[in-house]
Structure 1
Amino acid sequence: MNIIGIIASQREEGNTTFIVNKILEGAKKQGAETSTFSFSNLNIKPCRGCWACHKGDQGCVIKDDMQKIYDALEHADAIVLGLPIYMGQMSAQGKIFTDRLFARFSPRFSPFFKENAVKQKLILSFNQGNPDADLFKSYIDYTKHMFEVLEFDVKEVPVVTGLRNGPACEREDLHTGLKDFGSALVLEGCQK
């Protein structure tokens, strides 16, 4: 199984990086091949809304680091998307990534969409400073639904809370719990 991690944060060693890497560590332990893309070292521009990606088979016309992610998505069985919550929503980097998926994952319009294709599995991971796990529940549920509409098979939506009180890497409860998400993703794929 090939799993890619997308870290939609500018913080190279931050909580989102830790969370995505722990999930991937669990997957790797079960034999998955993993790789990561981090916005801390990528140059990805916002979608222009030009629709060029849907007017032929050339894909997105913006030539930046998103092209690397498009290539990786072609071969990925699953994605772990790490999204910090800023101001009640995913980070700006997460929104840029999501908007740029329009070129590939828009079933009604995309020339890349394959009818009856196997849906890519997705772990949609959120993290927030606030300790209240229900505070942004409606937004998280909306985001999950949006990815399902885009034909992703959303397997888990872990929400790591309370990060104002210290970094995720210092929380022992997260080390095993996050790895379990990655392990389960691979084990489920092996059973089919």
Structure 2
Amino acid sequence: MNIIGIIASQRKEGNTAFIVNKILEGAKEQGTETSTFGFSDLDIKPCCGCWACHKSDQGCVIKDDMQKIYDALEHAEAIVLGLPIYMGQMSAQGKIFTDRLFARFSPRFSPFFKENAVKQKLILSFNQGNPDAGLFKVYTDYTKHMFEVLEFDVTALPIVTDLRSKPAHEREDLRTGLKEFGSTLGLEGHQK
């Protein structure tokens, strides 16, 4: 099994990076191949809405680091998308990533645009400073539904809370729980 992690945050060693990396660490311990893409190390521009990816066979006309993610998506069986919640919704980096998926769903460009294709597993991992896990439930449910409409198999929606009082890397409960969660992903992949 091949799982990629996408850290939709500019903070290289922040909460989102810690969460995604711990999940992937647990999967890797089960023999799963993993790789990570962090926005702090990438130059990814917003979608320009030109529709070139749907009007020709050239794919996305923006030649930036999103091309690396498009390539990785072709081989990934699962994606862990780490999304910090800012102002009640995903970060700007998460939105840029999501918008740039538009090219992936072009019938002329995308290898994923096939009838009866196996849906990719997507783990949406939200994190927030507020301790109330239900505070942004309307938005997290909406985001889950949006990705399901895009033909992803959204299999988990972990929401890490209360990061204002103590950062993720200082919480032993998270260190253990996230690795265990990742281990189950790795085991699922090897049981197929």
- Give the TM-score band, short-chain normalised: over 0.9
User: Which residue of the partner structure matches residue 134 of structure 2?
Assistant: 134
- Please state how far the C-alpha of 1:150 moved relative to its aligned partner: 0.7
Give CA deviations for 1:144-185 in whole Å, capped at 9, x if unaligned. 111111111111110000010011011111112111221112
**2:107 alignment partner AA:** S
**1:62 alignment partner AA:** I
**2:71 alignment partner AA:** D
CA contact (8 A) 1:3 1:35 kept: yes
Query: Is residue 2:154 matched to residue 1:154?
Result: yes
User: Which residue of the partner structure matches residue 110 of structure 1?
Assistant: 107
Spell out structure 1 runs of 4+ moving beyond 2 A: 189-192
**1:13 alignment partner AA:** E
Worse overlay, 14-23 or 179-188:
179-188
Alignment of 1:16-31 (within 5 A): 16-31=16-31
**2:93 alignment partner AA:** Q
User: Which residue of the partner structure matches residue 13 of structure 1?
Assistant: 13
Give CA deviations for 1:8-46 in whole Å, capped at 9, x if unaligned. 000010000000000000100111011100000110000
Ranges in structure 1 where 5+ consecutive residues have no aligned partner: none
User: Which residue of the partner structure matches residue 38 of structure 1?
Assistant: 38
Q: Percent identity?
A: 84
CA contact (8 A) 1:27 1:185 kept: yes
- Please state how far the C-alpha of 1:189 moved relative to its aligned partner: 2.4
Q: What is the TM-score with the length of structure 2 in the denominator?
A: 0.96
State the distance in 2 between where 1:12 and 1:5 align: 13
State the distance in 2 between where 1:44 and 1:73 align: 15
Alignment of 1:93-104 (within 5 A): 93-104=93-104
- Please state how far the C-alpha of 1:58 moved relative to its aligned partner: 1.6
**1:151 alignment partner AA:** E
Q: What is the TM-score with the length of structure 1 in the denominator?
A: 0.96
Let me know the Cα RMSD of the aligned residues.
Answer: 1.0
CA contact (8 A) 1:156 1:181 kept: no
Give 3-state SS (helix, strand or coil) of 1:164's partner: coil
CA contact (8 A) 1:15 1:168 kept: yes
- Please state how far the C-alpha of 1:119 moved relative to its aligned partner: 0.9
State the distance in 2 between where 1:23 and 1:74 align: 21
Give CA deviations for 1:126-161 in whole Å, capped at 9, x if unaligned. 000000000000100000111111111111110000
State the distance in 2 between where 1:90 and 1:142 align: 11
